[in-house]
Amino acid sequence: MTINVLSFTTLYPNEKQPRHGIFIEQRLKQLIQAADIQLKVVAPVPWFPLKNKCFGQYGLYSEVAAHENRFGIDVYHPNYLVIPKIGMTITPILLALSGLKRVKQLIKEGFKPNIIDAHYVYPDGVAAALIGKWLNIPVIITARGSDINVLPNYTLPKKMILWATKRAVMNITVSHALKEEMQKLGVPGDKIKVLRNGVDLDTFKILPDVRKEKRYDVKQLISVGNLIELKGHHLIIEALKNLPDTELTIVGEGPMEGQLKQLAIDYDVADRVNFVGYKTHQELVKLYNQADALVLASSREGMPNVLLEAMACGTPVISSSVGGAVEVVTEASAGILLEERSANSIERAVKRFMQCLPKASDTREYAEQFSWEATMSNLRDRLERSTQK
């Protein structure tokens, strides 16, 4: 039986934003390897009338093509209206109306979805649930982090989240921690399935020649993520002031870049902090291999892919005890968890961990249990069961 899957999400890469929601694209790239899966993606983008870089993010949205093909997947980008100030509460409806038009067109062209696969519960999952109701198509919703940990703190979004998740034939979380949070909101546990993110073991791997080039007189740390407060780069920079023989590479872009660079100057560690901006997966592999450890100092996470990527490259991790990180870092070969999210805790952890780093081969072997194979088998099974309900 061939299953026509329509993935619906605003968090999907496009030509103008190639790193936007790349973790969703990774999962869907694995999904289409199955011969009996036909997949199309509807990834709406906010409507903006002017194409100019001076308008920042919204200027980029206006340049996104209505249709593109990425890695053999047809991706459609209908526009939806974003209304300032009241946008949070009305966006799911506007998003659904925009998506509905595109889905109807796909059906007219011969692609009748057996199921809608929505990513991120709010507003995407709510919009997908509306489309599913209007067109009588079952919906699966995947929760990924702040959509369950943060957005339900708002009254109306919480009500809509509960409506959508209870109406969905199945909800997926990327960690057990997220499943527990979803249950606390009132979603029945039997409607929630944990399917962790996987890691591409062919892309992320040990590079022996790169590891031979490492400077063993200076320890190398790497921190990967958007340059925003919740990622905790500032805490790692602060910890560096008491780690004299240690250098830090920060991978990512974001609004805190200037502030972080100034912080490095203030702590007199600017010569040991290297900001390298955005890097492709291929470039990241080399950076992971050059590092002795990845440090993740986030205040919250769903299932942090960077942990899996680093470990697959033989690089152990030092991570805050948040979300799925607790479920990933369970053995010494993987790394260690911070006692608390603070610069002092990072400093103590680095000093302790650097004295007994695991072998790269042991870390890689540990990471191999997180291949995409098991996750895709379970996802394929869930899709088939959901289309039969």
Judged by phi (left if over 0) then psi (alpha if -120 to 50, else beta), residue 302 lies in alpha
C-alpha distances (whole Å) from 367 to each of 29, 61, 92, 329, 372 are 20, 36, 37, 10, 11
- Structure confidence at residue 35 (pLDDT): 66
pTM (2 d.p.) = 0.86
**Residue 226's closest CA among 21, 10, 9, 13?**
21
Q: Which amino acid is at 188?
A: P
Q: Which amino acid is at 144?
A: R
- Structure confidence at residue 50 (pLDDT): 59
Q: Produce one character per residue of 329-358: b if its CB has 16 or more CB atoms within 10 Å, e if not.
A: beeebbbbbbeebbbebbbbbbeebbeeeb
* Whole-number Å distance between alpha carbons of 19 and 152: 26
**Residue 121's closest CA among 174, 164, 175?**
164
Phi, then psi, of 2 in degrees rounded to 5:
-85, 135
Contact 155, 41 (CB under 8 A): no
* Whole-number Å distance between alpha carbons of 165 and 170: 8
Question: What would the DSSP string read from start to end of 171-217?
Answer: EEESSHHHHHHHHHHT--GGGEEE----B-TTTS---HHHHHT--TT
Question: Given CA atoms 302, 303, 305, 309 in this order, what sign does their dihedral have?
Answer: positive
Q: Cα angle vertex 142, ends 17, 129, to 5°?
A: 95
Domains and CATH numbers, the chain: 3-198+371-387 (3.40.50.2000), 208-370 (3.40.50.2000)
- Structure confidence at residue 168 (pLDDT): 96
Query: 273-277 and 335-337 as β-strands: parallel, antiparallel, unpaired?
Result: unpaired
* Alpha-helical segments (H) within 186-320: 208-212, 233-240, 257-266, 281-290, 305-312
4: three-class secondary structure by DSSP? strand
Q: What is the token pair recorded at 204?
A: 């992320």
pLDDT in tens, the chain (389 residues): 789 999 999 999 998 888 888 889 989 998 988 768 999 999 999 886 656 555 556 667 778 899 999 999 999 999 998 876 666 789 999 999 999 999 999 999 999 999 999 999 999 999 999 999 999 999 999 998 888 888 888 889 999 999 999 999 999 999 898 999 999 999 999 999 999 888 999 999 999 998 877 767 789 999 999 999 999 999 999 999 999 999 999 999 999 999 999 999 999 999 999 999 999 889 999 999 999 999 999 998 888 899 999 999 999 999 999 988 999 999 999 999 999 999 999 999 999 999 999 999 999 999 999 988 878 888 888 888 887 76
Phi, then psi, of 193 in degrees rounded to 5:
-120, 130
* Whole-number Å distance between alpha carbons of 380 and 383: 5
